[in-house]
Chain A
């Protein structure tokens, strides 16, 4: 269909839109401190390597809980959480490892939790799907799709009632857009102009069911308009784009201008739950996986920061070594920690 001539003319007369982060690939992304860029790299590297370590350890059968890995989806967690303060809060889903880590959750306490040990971040009561670290604002996760979304509305309400400028984040997936409570939450936050970032990590699949068979559209940020809040969509292969979108939403929320929905278009490399690849199941193709792996966010950032001179290869390697040591220490800590005593069964209830 032809557009009306006037509209086309207006479109042509508009200056070409320049993404400040993309305009000069060999220069540092403007406006972002080098330390922040390095922190984004380390945060994503930590998530990637923690998840790969879990996958490697899983056959030992000492991690005796379902693990939903975030390999390929690191940019959503890192880009958003590094736009936050420690005092800002986040809630998450069954796929919560990346959010816990990016928010600053302790790696030792995470591996101990996965191993069901008393030194775990939930004392062994929560497991992989309920990682919690209130000391850094990670308030936990619900394993019911959409279930934690309104909790962020509540922590934002608390911040507003207490007169702080704290911001609340709800991480959720594309399938949560199919839950009524998510839409209730978007509408409620917009109505009360609450400082919430709704981060929808659209990885295209709910377990093994593709988005196209579940929703009539594919651009989930558009769902915001119906609830009277801004919705933006960002490329989850580009952590800097995620960070910029999150920072704008955080600033808007702190100003008292209310919530934002950010859709992070991303992709999960491994199976829905567990350590393996699952192309053999036939619900998605190797070609699709290959396309997303070619754009995976960690390598993309590493190459970009190296070209821009922000993070030379030698320094990156040194940081990688630090991350490996941190993980090795955490795994050893988890394995050597004791299991909870049976009496713990009845503790922490009321």
Chain B
């Protein structure tokens, strides 16, 4: 099948959704500039022009409110932010308006809006340009949160979001942008709330979110060399969450490790662990383990970044803890997670 980069898959989904539905339009700071949000929006601008793909002032709150207002009147705005962190300027609009308007008015109005934002890890982006805030949004009833990890899912999930009649937050990890994978050319729609088994296995279930899927696959290869076959599950959407898939797999493997790109405390890994333990407390052979960010802001120094971001090595360690061998078994052969695949300025 044809290979596309993740960023190209987003571009294609946007253009196909706009071609199918004239109510879809794109706005955000820099969406029409020559770089077009790392190449994800420029193609739509060139194909559909400035009336449907337009640049905006740096007024994130009003932009989001404007999108919600347009959505209430039948349009489907795709609002694009170059960073997750900028969403914090729009929390009233997202949480109090987008998520609740339909409910507050008894279903009379709907708010079909899709909001994309990028997690900007690495190259010293530090505390305000790197955050992975999925737990905040997934906490809120009325929002859907998707975190595609593969180019195919980036296209399929974004197509679904842009045809949905309720608000969807799409969080994209910057390190995925240049990854390639098979992507069908025709439009297709990956349903929200349906996870995928990225790698089958019988001994332990690793639920991995966004870029952690790649780390988990690397960890699984290493574990296989030690005779441990890990099943890697990508939930793809966090709200709705495919608890059934996670619990079915874990019921079989009887061990669960969760790897998230966000913070550990009160995070996505905590929610998944809670759901699994509620369903499977008498099935589990070991405590559920979490691999997530330590509870500190992101540091700038590359030395501290290396200490901050967990990766395949930490996933392997967590799995081996599940086999009650943490202290005895090393994590040889796996580099720490600060690989040089991504370089600045962004």
Instruction: Give A residues with C-beta under 8 Å from B.
Output: 89, 91, 120-126, 130, 132, 134, 139-140, 142, 144, 147-159, 161-162, 168, 180-181, 184-185, 187-188, 191, 347-350
Among candidates A140, A158, A350, residue contacting B104 with C-beta atoms closer than 8 Å? A140
Give the residues in chain A near B97, CB-CB below 8 Å.
142, 147-148, 151
Which single residue of chain B is at the shortest CB-CB distance from A123? B106
List 4 additional contacts besides A349-B141, A350-B166; criterion CB under 8 Å: A125-B105, A154-B69, A188-B57, A348-B107
A151 touching B104 by the CB < 8 A rule?
Answer: no
The reply to whether A168 and B69 contact each other, CB–CB distance below 8 Å, is yes
Q: Is the interface of B mostly helix, strand, loop or mixed?
A: helix
Contacts of A123 in B (CB 8 A): 106-107
- Closest A residue to B96 by beta carbon equals A144
Contact of A125 among B64, B66, B103 (CB under 8 A): B103
Query: Known contacts being A139-B72, A153-B65, A155-B73, is A188 close to B59, with CB within 8 Å?
Result: yes
The chain A residue with its CB closest to the CB of B66 is A154
**B residues neighboring A (CB under 8 Å):** 25, 51, 56-57, 59, 61-75, 92-93, 96-97, 101-109, 141-142, 144, 166
Q: How far is the CA of A130 from the CA of B74 in the complex (A)?
A: 20
What are 20 A-B contacts defined by CB distance under 8 Å?
A91-B69, A132-B109, A139-B69, A139-B109, A147-B96, A148-B65, A148-B97, A150-B63, A151-B97, A154-B67, A155-B73, A157-B66, A158-B69, A161-B51, A161-B70, A162-B74, A185-B66, A187-B62, A191-B57, A349-B166
Q: A348, B103: Cβ atoms under 8 Å?
A: yes
Known: A142-B97, A152-B69. A349 touches B142 (CB 8 A): yes
Closest to A180 in B: B61
CB nearest to B67 among chain A residues: A154
Q: Which residues of A contact B63 (CB under 8 A)?
A: 150, 184, 188
5 interchain residue pairs of minimum CB distance = A154-B69, A150-B65, A123-B106, A184-B62, A158-B73
Could you say which residues of chain A place their CB within 8 Å of the CB of B70? 154-155, 157-158, 161
B73 touches which of A147, A149, A154, A181 (Cβ 8 Å): A154
Given A147-B97, A161-B51, A350-B142, A120:B65 Cβ within 8 A = no
When distances are taken between beta carbons in the complex, the residues of chain B under 8 Å from A158 are: 69-70, 72-75
Tell me the complex Cα distance, A159–B92, Å: 24
A residues in contact with B64, CB < 8 Å: 150
Residue of A nearest to B107 (CB): A348
Residue of A nearest to B59 (CB): A184
Q: Is the CB of B103 within 8 A of A349?
A: yes
Do the beta carbons of B59 and A154 come within 8 Å of each other?
Answer: no
Q: A161 and B75 in contact (CB under 8 A), knowing A150-B69, A151-B68, A181-B65?
A: yes
Give the CA-CA distance A150 to B98 in the complex, in Å: 12
Q: Are B59 and A349 in contact (CB under 8 A)?
A: no
How close is A171's CB to chain B, nearest CB, in angstroms?
Answer: 14
A151 engages B106 (CB within 8 Å): no
A184 pairs with B57, CB closer than 8 A? yes
Q: Which residue of B lies closest to A344 (CB)?
A: B106
Partner of A157 from B69, B102, B103, B166 at Cβ < 8 Å: B69
List residues of chain B with CB within 8 A of the CB of A348: 102-103, 106-107
Task: Give the residues in chain A near B62, CB-CB below 8 Å.
Answer: 149-150, 153, 181, 184-185, 187-188
Q: How far is the CA of A147 from the CA of B104 in the complex (A)?
A: 14
> What chain A residues lie within 8 Å of B73 (beta carbons)?
89, 154-155, 158-159, 162
* Contact present for A151 and B69 (CB under 8 Å): yes
Closest to A181 in B: B61
CA–CA, A90 to B102, complex, Å? 16
B23 → A minimal CB distance (Å): 9
- Look across to chain B and name the residue whose beta carbon is closest to the beta carbon of A350: B166
B58 (CB) vs chain A CBs: closest residue? A184
B138 to chain A, nearest CB (A): 13
Query: Which residues of B have CB within 8 Å of A188?
Result: 56-57, 59, 62-63, 66
A150 to B97, CA, bound (A): 11
Report how far A83 CA is from B80 CA in the complex, Å: 36
- A348→B93 CA distance, assembly (Å): 19
B69 and A125: CB pair below 8 A? no
Contact A120:B106 (CB < 8 A) given known A184-B57, A188-B66, A191-B57: yes
CA A158 to CA B78, docked complex, whole Å: 14
Q: Shortest beta-carbon distance, A100 to chain B, in Å?
A: 11
Among A124, A153, A154, A350, contact of B144 (Cβ-Cβ < 8 Å): A350
- Of the candidates A140, A149, A161, A350, which one forms a contact with B65 in the assembled complex, judged by CB atoms under 8 Å apart? A149
Q: Given the interface contacts A158-B73, A350-B142, does A122 sit within 8 Å of B104 by beta carbon?
A: yes
Determine the distance from Cα of A347 to Cα of B106 in the docked complex, in whole angstroms: 8
| B106:A126 contact, CB within 8 angstroms | yes
Measured CB to CB, the nearest residue on chain A to B62 is A184
Residues of A near B57 (CB, < 8 A) are 184, 187-188, 191
Q: How far is the CB of A142 from chain B (nearest CB, A)?
A: 6
Residues in A neighbouring B56, C-beta threshold 8 A: 188
